[in-house]
Chain A
Amino acid sequence: MDKVKKITQKRLFLPVFCMFLVMAANIIYDVACGEFAFSFFTISVRNGVLYGRLIDILNRGSEIAILAIGMTLVVSASAGTDISVGSVMSLAASFCCMLLAGYGVSSTTELAVPLIVGVLGGILMGCVCGAFNGTLVAYLNVQPMVATLILFSAARAIGLLLCNNLIVYVRNDSFKFFGGYLGFIPTPIIIAAVCVVVMALLLKKTALGLYVQSVGINKKASRIAGLNSSKIIFVCYLVCGLMAGIAGIVASSRISSADSNNIGLNYEMDAILAVALGGNSLGGGKFSLAGSIIGAYTIQAITTTLYALGVSTDVAPVFKAIIVIIIVTIQAPPFKAYMKRRAARKALAKGGAAA
């Protein structure tokens, strides 16, 4: 009993538990369908590339995972969320494609500028957006939700303006790379992995993690202890914008175009959810990057599973919502306190009976 309790109190318990739950659902479904029980985990090589449901989840979940990295920092340092990441993804994609195709061109097979210029331009656009959000939140003390609401609603429109109100297609194989394959592995998986590893190294080898958490827990005390609270919050938003830029390039490369209205749609919700699922409090402070990443892939797994189960695209959000409600309730302090009290009362009753 004590062992069970110890495990459930571990930080990563919740995200890992959710992950297993989704996998179990898959196995049950496969068995029910009379398929091989572990077909969920089977990875095969078809047409020279990796293939399988697990690979699909890892591939499709890349954008959420990349976004979750930045969102984790933002939530921790500012006790708020950046709801603009989905729109910023779209803006970064638009800017990138506009550069690659040239202004006003709606479809191209030839690149107007070197690939690297377009891609870096898109990523830079993400950074600019992040810096804008960061300035509002860190230096002008605007509520994170309100500050990021501006780009949430404006970024897509700016993207459309940049593209002269067109959906720009870049039908060039070199641009396809980011959403395609590197050897036999889907490139998005590799990009996400690189982002995660770089961030993990930063957290391990520098004091970034300590700084961010410290500011998130007590901004005033951090300042007295010598931290530049505003700068740290700014950097978190900047990183969040950077990640949105990268995710935007991946998403746009997948469809070889900059579809302002659809790229990154509702991704901010998934990114926030990934952070929450990862066992991180949305009230800021302590965070676990690993938790957020597991959370991100869990969400993708849920989505993929729901589709595999034949749930239609329109209804899937309802199921997601139900899952969110459960998770948020389990994490809520009053609920935790209630469980603790219940345990204490039980112990008391037991002790009383024994006496």
Chain B
Amino acid sequence: MDNNVVLTMRGICMTFPGVKALDHVDFTLRKGEIHALMGENGAGKSTLIKCLTGINAFEAGEIRVDGIDGPVVNHSTLDAQKKGISTVYQEVNLCPNLSVAENLFIGREPKTKIGTIDWKTMVKRSQKIVQDLDMDIDVTQNLEEYSLALQQMIAIARAVDMDCKVLILDEPTSSLDDNEVEKLFKLMNQLKAKGVGIIFVTHFLEQVYAVCDRITVLRDGQLVGEYPIEDLPRVKLVAAMMGKDFDDLASIKSDESPVFSDEDILIDAEGMSHKGTIKPFNLQIHKGEVVGLTGLLGSGRSELARVIYGADKNQTGTLKVKGKEAKINAPIDAMKLGMGLLPDDRKAEGIIGDLSVRENIILALQAKRGMFRLLPMSKQIELADKYIDMLQIKTASRETLIKQLSGGNQQKVILGRWLATDPDFLILDEPTRGIDIGTKTEIQKLVLKLAKEGKGIIFISSEIEEMLRTCTKMAVLRDGMKVGEITESLSQETVMKAIAGGDK
């Protein structure tokens, strides 16, 4: 093996029932290199990583790791860790009901002399890890107390804290804000300087150009090629991933800003709040309006939406839907009023893993109809097929379990679930999380189309550009409070300024 290379994978093949997920894929990782692994949803990125770490058993091919004689076959993440391969998976897979400290040290707990767990040292070291990343976290609290973004940071911190030659990050930034991404990049560069090879998967192209040295592109389970970053400018990268030219930055919004009258008010929240997550706020949404909620991590943007939907109980103030006062005790009440919520935490609050794609799509509609009005099977099939087709969900069949889909495709199924209920008012919390660049544009177009049909939409995204492309109004949040609205001259600059809390 080349002295400079830490990892080679040659001719890796892997088949799932009905899908050839990897077809003779080669991959080479060098020391001190940040290597982007790119491809559309379902291209096989996560599968390739799981073959390396032993979660998937590959059928053919060979893996070699620097410093180990002969081919390497790992049987578990732990196994891979022992060989110096540390991984952060696409879906946070820590234990929500253990403390942050326990999660950081699970499987490698510091021991006392008599072999019991040394809790004091563990907590102390955890505090240090967390502080090094500027995270404001009590390490003795259960992991589930923290937002998805913080959980993602903790997963990263855990992986980074272990001595490794290879660090794998599968969409680590999908729920992070610019600030956190900055921190992560700093960390990655430090490790790179130490000679660690890093595999980085993301759908954010800017991030690729910000840190990566090299790009490997996969398409439909096949290797498209490996390129030094200089040789593959953005347009070419997109073309390589999609297999065709595509302008993902083209403007999609019409320029004229729509005018809304008071009769068109769909949602009128006055003084709503939920203790500990969001302070009283007012918000009006008109028919055909796309309202963006923006703010830093933990600013309460998801929480605001959750209160309107009844996912968190409203404790003060009132909500009027289409002019009528609404009493919402649980999500189902909100749904009956024509609302829908696509939650940001796909794994915990979105997918029903062991149910099929079809069942996942019809679930909300069925819940709305009630238990005794079962959707006829023919109708279920029709709906499932409609959204599989419309959202280009890549699945072996409509009866495939949703957990067997790639992350981005799972997200599309959940989006389909809400579209199937034909809501008047839809809350989309990070709807494009983990979704590839082509489909992302499709979804943005879809949002605008829904608005044109007269639906009201709340759009939440940590990507400001994405919101600028779709929103007509933005509400700015800071520290669990709505601090303002921007309706005119929406631009990167004004929004950033408002978020940071400069002039107001």
Contacts and interface: CB of A to CB of B under 8 A. Distances in A.
Interface stretch (B31-39, B165-173, B216-224, B341-349): B341-349
A224 B331 contact: yes
Most central of B57, B73, B417 by chain A CB within 10 Å: B57
B330 A228 contact: yes
Interface stretch (B194-202, B316-324, B351-359): B351-359
Given A207-B371, A223-B331, A214 B355 contact: yes
B331 A206 contact: no
Contact of A210 (B58, B348, B366): B366
A210 B354 contact: no
B308 to A, nearest CB: 13
Contacts of A336: none
B192 interface: no
Contacts of A345: 57, 73
Contacts of B363: 210, 214, 222, 225-227
- Chain A at the B interface: SS class: helix
Contacts of B335: 226
Given A210-B366, A226-B367, A344-B57, A285 B331 contact: no
Contacts of A344: 57-59
Contacts of A213: 352, 354-355
Interface in B423-454: none
B372 interface: yes
A11 interface: no
Interface in B224-261: none
Given A206-B372, A210-B359, A347-B59, A341 B348 contact: no
A338 to B, nearest CB: 9
A334 B94 CA distance: 19
B396 interface: no
Contacts of A181: none
Most central of A207, A211, A223, A226 by chain B CB within 10 Å: A226
Interface in A92-151: none
A161 interface: no
Contact of B349 (A210, A224, A227): A224
A351 interface: yes
Contacts of B374: 205-207
Interface string A329-346: 000000000001100110
A226 B417 CA distance: 12
Nearest to B59: A347
Nearest to A226: B367
B310 to A, nearest CB: 10
Interface string A192-212: 000000000000011110110
A351 B363 CA distance: 43
A211 B330 contact: no
B500 interface: no
Interface residues on A, range: 20 to 34
Contacts of A226: 331-332, 335, 363-364, 367-368
Contacts of B60: 348, 351
A335 to B, nearest CB: 14
A342 B330 CA distance: 48
B75 interface: yes
A217 B330 contact: no
Nearest to B339: A226
A21 interface: no
A224 B343 contact: yes
Contacts of B58: 344
Contacts of A222: 352, 363
Given A214-B352, A217-B352, A218-B353, A340 B371 contact: no
A144 B352 CA distance: 22
Contacts of B373: 207
B9 to A, nearest CB: 15
B131 to A, nearest CB: 31
B417 A225 contact: yes
Contact of B354 (A206, A217, A227, A228): A217
A213 B354 CA distance: 9
A286 interface: yes
Contacts of B75: 341
A221 B343 CA distance: 9
Most central of B59, B350, B367, B417 by chain A CB within 10 Å: B367
Contact of A225 (B331, B348, B354, B375): B331
Interface in A8-42: none
Contacts of A217: 352-355
A221 B57 contact: no
Interface in A245-277: none
B59 A351 contact: yes
Contact of A227 (B59, B332, B353, B375): B332
Contact of A221 (B351, B366, B369): B351
Given A217-B352, A227-B332, A341-B75, A207 B59 contact: no
B373 to A, nearest CB: 8
A207 B331 contact: no
A227 B360 CA distance: 13
A210 B375 CA distance: 11
Contacts of B371: 206-208, 211
B311 interface: yes
Contact of A285 (B354, B368, B369): B354
Interface in A220-240: 220-228
Interface of A: 205-208, 210-211, 213-214, 217-218, 220-228, 285-286, 340-341, 344-345, 347-348, 351
17 contacts: A207-B374, A210-B363, A210-B366, A211-B367, A217-B354, A220-B349, A222-B352, A224-B311, A224-B343, A224-B350, A225-B352, A226-B364, A286-B354, A344-B58, A344-B59, A347-B59, A351-B60
- Nearest 6 interchain pairs by C-beta: A226-B367, A344-B57, A226-B332, A225-B364, A226-B335, A217-B354
